[in-house]
Every structure is written in structure tokens, then in C-alpha cells.
Amino acid sequence: MSAVQTFFLQGSVSTLRSPHSSVTSCRKVSVKFTVSCCSAASPMTVVNGNVDNRPSDRSEVRLGLPSKGRMAADSLDLLKDCQLSVRQVNPRQYVAEIPQISNLEVWFQRPKDIVRKLVSGDLDLGIVGLDTVCEYGQGDKDLIIVHDALEYGDCRLSLAIPKYGIFENVNSMKELAEMPQWTPERPLRVATGFTYMGPKFMKENGLKHVTFSTADGALEAAPAMGIADAIVDLVSSGTTLRENNLKEIEGGVIVQSQAVLVAGRKSLMQRKGVLDITHEMLERLEAHLRAVGQFTVTANMRGSSAEEVAERILSQTSLSGLQGPTISPVFCKRDGRVTADYFAIVICVPKKALYKSVQQLRAIGGSGVLISPLTYIFDEETPRWRQLLSTLGL
């Protein structure tokens, strides 16, 4: 460990004025740490999760899901939409199952513990926000993001400063770093719950004289209370910052976050069944997320041939579908002869363009327009699966 450390205090740091308070090193916040007991000769080791990182001999595959907070319900909803409903006998029980996938245990944990347990090997897969992976994974190369965009939990980890006082004309990280106010005796005081990402970011941005304090919530109050000059916290709509007279600045976004599916490299490579379950989950997630926001539109259209109908459809900007329209003749018997005066067309249309598509279909002679939501769009190959295999060197 280097001589100069980053200090984290709970609450005010106004009494801390030593040169040690400047950020010159970015110490890993301990997943494993040692505390002195009564006798200095017998240290006690406290570990989050698996004590000595020995691979356990369990045969079940374990998926960690957030037990509380805003990610919990959305994670269950997403899995349900992928026909992977989690069956939990009662809400205080922390283990559950997904009947469609045998040999999979679902464990409900706090998001930060999901990441820690992926690192320790006590979980194999997990769903959490990318911010939590960055903060508690601390750049661990064995944490692999299998799906990076589950499309909920959107937020960003940002640095914010007051709109007023000495910060009134400060609008970028460069300007913040160049402020003459920050000295070893009077460093920039930052309040954050992100005690790994916060110091790392400040160091990367060349801020030399910085101290950090930490609290468990309502960090936006710290500047007005005189406890901090700036904060590093999650921002989504920006309302909390605005209500507290704080602003984000150029270059101050540390991580753009949303829910992700993460796995441990060792689990993927060594534990039987993990790779297969990951493949199935990835296929369902990708196919479902592709289908969200798309509708299938079917309609009838009079025409002399399938090609002639196709030309009419493709002349319209909103009707090209995923790979072009599917057109099938609708046969009927007229005067004893089987003819195809009508064609049935099927296209996929993005939700946003739905009404425009219906208007365009009608304009070129479409009738009997039926619209149904899509559950899955399976492609020939799952791009993220190929990416995962290449990351694993398989």
C-alpha cells in the first residue's frame, strides 16, 4: 500500500487539513481487509463472501438479483417478459427458482453484494447497475459484462458542484481543476458514496488537492450544509440536483449506467452449466429487447402480383420491415377459377412509426390492418454471445 492514502470520513471533513488529504493514490476499497484484535499478533480477517476464494463444490448455478431498491421489481419484470418468471415462495426468503431453467438458483441480494459475491465466486451470474459493477468490481478483469444494455435503471454517475458562489462560472472539469482555491491546506471537499470511482475519476482528471467524505444518502445536501464543495452521485432526471442548486459540468460524467447482466469468468469457464444458462438467458434477453418497441402489422392489399405489391410497399419510407415485407397471395375461387387478387402483407414496424405506417399502408391500398405486439425477435446469431466467446478465448 502506498504511503499516501485517500481518506474517507463519515460527515464533515472540515477538520481534516493535512497534506495527506490530497488524492495521490487510488487504494482499492477492501473486499478483504484485516482488523487488529486484542492482540496485534493475531489479526482477524473479514471477507465479504467466500473466505479463501476456494471454488465451492456446489452443482447448482447461482444468479443474483437485487433484493431491494429500484432495480428489484424491474429485474423481475424483465425476466418475466422473457418467460423466465422467478418463483419465490415468500418475499423474506432469499432463494428462489426459475422453473424454465433447471439447476438455476436465484439469490436475492443487495446490488453491491451481488458484485462482491461474483468476485468471490459465491454467485455465477447477476443483474445490477453498471455503476455498481464499476464501484464494487473495481476494474476486476474476471467480471464479465455479458449484456450491457438491459434498458432500465438508466442513470449516470456524475460530479456536481453548486451553481452559486465561487463555482458560478465554473462549467467544466478543466475549470474546476484550475481553480486556485484548492491547496494542500484547503483541498476540494467531495461527498460521495462511490469511494472507489470518485477518487479514481478525480485523479484521472488531474485534481491534486481533494478530500472525500462519505454518507449513505441525501448527498445533494452536503454543499448547502457546508460539509462539501462538490458531490459525486447518481443522476437520472436531474431533479434532485436542480432542487439543491447544483449543476453537472462538462467532462463530469464518470459512468453512463443501466442494468447489465454480469458473470464471473471462473464460473463461465469452470462451473458446469453456467455457459449454457448464460447462452439461454442471453438469447432470450436479446430477442426480447429487440422485440420491445416493435409491432407486427398485417394487412390485405389488392394487386396484380406479389412483385407489384412489394414495389408499392417499398416506395413508402415506414414500411420496409426488418428484412423487407413478407407478401403471400390470398387465394379465392371466382367463376370456378382459383385466383389471387389480394395479397397478405406482414411487416415489423417500430412503435414510434406505427401510426405513420398505418397511414402509408392505407394510402397505397392496404385494408384490414391488424397490429400485434412482438414477444421475441430471434436473429440467426446472438451478437453478444459471439462477443462473450471471444472474450473468454473460446
Ligand X SMILES: O=P(O)(O)OC[C@H]1O[C@H](OP(=O)(O)OP(=O)(O)O)[C@H](O)[C@@H]1O
> Binding mask 224-263 vs ligand ATP (x if CB under 6 A, - otherwise)?
----------x-x--------------------x------
Q: What angle do CA 249, 255, 259 make, to 5 degrees?
A: 135
Inter-residue contact 168 to 295 (CB < 8 Å)? no
Asked if 233 interacts with ligand X (CB under 6 A), we say yes
Asked if 65 interacts with ligand X (CB under 6 A), we say no
- Which residue, 120 or 244, has its beta carbon nearer to ligand X? 244
Straight-line distance from the first to the last Cα atom of the chain, in angstroms, rounded to the nearest whole number: 36
Asked if 214 interacts with ligand X (CB under 6 A), we say no
Rounded-to-integer distance, Cα 105 and Cα 101, Å = 9
3-state helix, strand and coil shares in percent for the chain, rounded to the nearest 5: 30, 30, 40
Asked if 71 interacts with ligand ATP (CB under 6 A), we say yes
> Binding mask 12-51 vs ligand ATP (x if CB under 6 A, - otherwise)?
----------------------------------------
314-343 residues near ligand ATP, rule: CB under 6 A: none
Q: Which amino acid type is present at position 374?
A: L
71 contact, one of ligand X, ligand ATP, none, CB 5-8 Å limit per kind: ligand ATP
**Window of 87-95, 115-123, 129-137, 360-368 that interacts with ligand ATP by CB under 6 A:** 129-137
Residue-by-residue DSSP string for 11-72: S--TT--SGGGS----PPPPSEEEE--SSTTS-EEEESSSSS-PPP---SEEEEEE-SSHHH
Asked if 192 interacts with ligand ATP (CB under 6 A), we say no
234-253 residues near ligand X, rule: CB under 6 A: 234-240
- Which residue, 160 or 202, has its beta carbon nearer to ligand X? 160
Rounded-to-integer distance, Cα 11 and Cα 214, Å = 6
132 contact, one of ligand ATP, ligand X, none, CB 5-8 Å limit per kind: ligand ATP
Rounded-to-integer distance, Cα 302 and Cα 330, Å = 10
Rounded-to-integer distance, Cα 239 and Cα 237, Å = 5
Q: Which residues bind ligand ATP (CB under 6 A)?
A: 69-71, 111, 129, 131-132, 153-155, 217, 234, 236, 257
